[in-house]
């Protein structure tokens, strides 16, 4: 009893109270230090990771995920894009996807190199069984919805220059078809075109994307096909891969029904024949029908270039229609290559966010503009523009 009572007297004494306060402060300090350390780890990108095979009640060693090293910071070869931190995922280059784009025509994308995991290499290739010239060159106008593509070459050259030694697959990187870069993946330095994720774009990382490709015969500007492929990110394997290479015409994607598609084509053809308030376009039905390749109608996130003509023939910036779902009608025409006439939902063309009005689900599309004609070279491009439009388009820079 004496020991117990003496203990009670100790806790009630001034010395006992002081001792209790010291113990309590030490406990609080320990908690604060531990919490601060854990918060610092999280801010640095290092988080404790539980061992999935540990038994309940067992202690687990702390496994740290380190932030990216300086070696993982890359800059594109041309230096025009900002420095970016590479995604923490890997890339699967273990397959080639292929799709038919018409009678005797086949397009493929991808690379069969399992050991290459630093980016997705597109390596596009087009084959036309009935091409008059076995060395016919094709250019690919490639657009993505999230992350810009990266090209091995920083400057463009004509597709038929000796620089390319008989290569036939090229990427169109400007506004005209006479300047291209090689799209073929030949070696680590001449990789053509690749896709590499980064949180520098869209504030996201480890997310997918869509790559859209127009296939153009460079000798005369004929549109041979239009395809799209998905970049897929597997959350389990942490790997990116190219998936689902398909034709992008609304016939295949079912983004419009047959009647809606036919209506857009008829309106586009009529517009090309009649012209607009600025000029008579001078295209005839016979010129449009002289090509045996089908018209392609595709839905796109944006117009193809950064400048276009509106429905009245005025040169405008593409940003004017940045809120619109774009429906592009591409019509091959003898002597001109192909024409692109753009449509958008009426509410969006007036500046609204919705594609339909009220509770209605009826999609009403209106013509909003078209691309400049015959962009084979800077000279032919300029021949279809007024002097003031040449300055606006910046055509002298192509």
State pLDDT tens for residues 11-62: 445 555 556 656 567 666 665 555 555 454 444 443 333 333 333 333 332 2
By the 10 Å C-beta count (0-12 exposed, 13-18 middle, 19+ buried), 127 is classed as: middle
pLDDT tens-digit readout, 315-326: 888 999 998 999
| pLDDT at site 312 | 87
Which one is predicted more confidently, 235 or 1? 235
Which one is predicted more confidently, 14 or 270? 270
Does residue 117 have a pLDDT over 80?
Answer: yes
User: Average pLDDT in the 67-90 region?
Assistant: 39
| Best CA proximity match to 223, nearest among 334, 383, 370, 145 | 334
Pick the range with the lowest mean pLDDT from 161-175, 197-211, 381-395: 381-395
Tokens of 208: 């997918």
| pLDDT at site 160 | 86
| 3-class state of residue 267 by DSSP | helix
Q: What is the pTM of this model?
A: 0.74
| pLDDT at site 19 | 60
Does residue 118 have a pLDDT over 50?
Answer: yes
Give the DSSP letter of residue 130: T
Does residue 267 have a pLDDT over 50?
Answer: yes
pLDDT tens-digit readout, 140-163: 999 999 899 999 998 888 888 888
By the 10 Å C-beta count (0-12 exposed, 13-18 middle, 19+ buried), 223 is classed as: buried
Tokens of 310: 């509106």
Question: What is the chain's mean pLDDT, rounded?
Answer: 77
Which one is predicted more confidently, 169 or 40? 169
Give the helix/strand (H/E) hosting 390.
helix 387-393
Q: Which residues of 152-162 are buried (b: 16+ CB within 10 A; e: fewer)?
A: bbeebbbbeee
- 14-43 vs 2-12: helix crossing angle, rounded to 10: 70
Is residue 96 within 8 Å of residue 113, measured between CB atoms?
no
Going 350 to 355 to 356 to 357, the CA torsion angle's sign is negative
Is residue 247 within 8 Å of residue 260, measured between CB atoms?
no
Does residue 130 have a pLDDT over 60?
Answer: yes
Which one is predicted more confidently, 285 or 276? 285
By the 10 Å C-beta count (0-12 exposed, 13-18 middle, 19+ buried), 16 is classed as: middle
């Amino acid at each position: 009893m004496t020991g117990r009572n003496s203990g009670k007297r100790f806790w009630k004494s001034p010395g006992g109270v002081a001792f209790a306060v010291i113990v309590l402060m030490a406990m609080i300090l320990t908690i604060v230090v531990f919490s601060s350390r854990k918060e610092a780890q999280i801010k640095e990108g290092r988080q404790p990771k539980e061992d999935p095979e540990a038994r309940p009640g067992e202690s687990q060693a702390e496994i740290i995920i380190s932030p990216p090293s300086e070696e993982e910071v890359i800059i594109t070869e041309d230096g025009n894009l900002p420095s970016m931190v590479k995604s923490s995922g890997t890339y699967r280059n273990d397959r080639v996807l292929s799709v038919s784009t018409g009678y005797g025509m086949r397009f493929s994308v991808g690379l069969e190199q399992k050991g290459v995991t630093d980016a997705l290499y597109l390596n596009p290739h087009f084959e036309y069984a009935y091409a008059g010239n076995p060395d016919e060159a094709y250019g690919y106008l490639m657009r993505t919805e999230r992350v810009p593509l990266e090209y091995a070459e920083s400057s463009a050259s004509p597709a038929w220059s000796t620089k390319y030694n008989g290569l036939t697959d090229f990427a169109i990187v400007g506004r005209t078809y006479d300047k291209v870069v090689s799209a073929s993946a030949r070696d680590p330095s001449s990789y053509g075109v690749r896709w590499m994720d980064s949180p520098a774009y869209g504030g996201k990382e480890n997310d997918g994307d869509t790559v859209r490709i127009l296939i153009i015969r460079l000798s005369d500007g004929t549109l041979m096909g239009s395809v799209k492929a998905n970049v897929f990110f597997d959350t389990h394997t942490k790997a990116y891969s190219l998936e689902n290479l398909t034709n992008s015409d609304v016939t295949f994607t079912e983004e419009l029904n047959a009647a809606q598609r036919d209506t857009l084509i008829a309106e586009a053809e009529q517009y090309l024949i009649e012209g607009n308030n600025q000029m008579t376009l001078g295209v005839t039905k016979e010129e449009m029908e002289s090509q045996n390749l089908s018209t392609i109608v595709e839905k796109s996130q944006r117009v193809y270039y950064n400048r276009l003509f509106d429905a009245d023939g005025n040169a405008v910036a593409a940003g004017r229609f940045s809120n619109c779902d774009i429906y592009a009608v591409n019509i091959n025409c003898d002597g001109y290559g192909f024409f692109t006439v753009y449509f958008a939902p009426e509410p969006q063309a007036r500046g609204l966010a919705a594609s339909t009005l009220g509770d209605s689900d009826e999609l009403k599309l209106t013509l909003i503009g078209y691309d400049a004609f015959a962009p084979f070279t800077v000279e032919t491009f300029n021949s279809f523009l007024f002097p003031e439009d040449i300055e606006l388009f910046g055509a002298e820079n192509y």
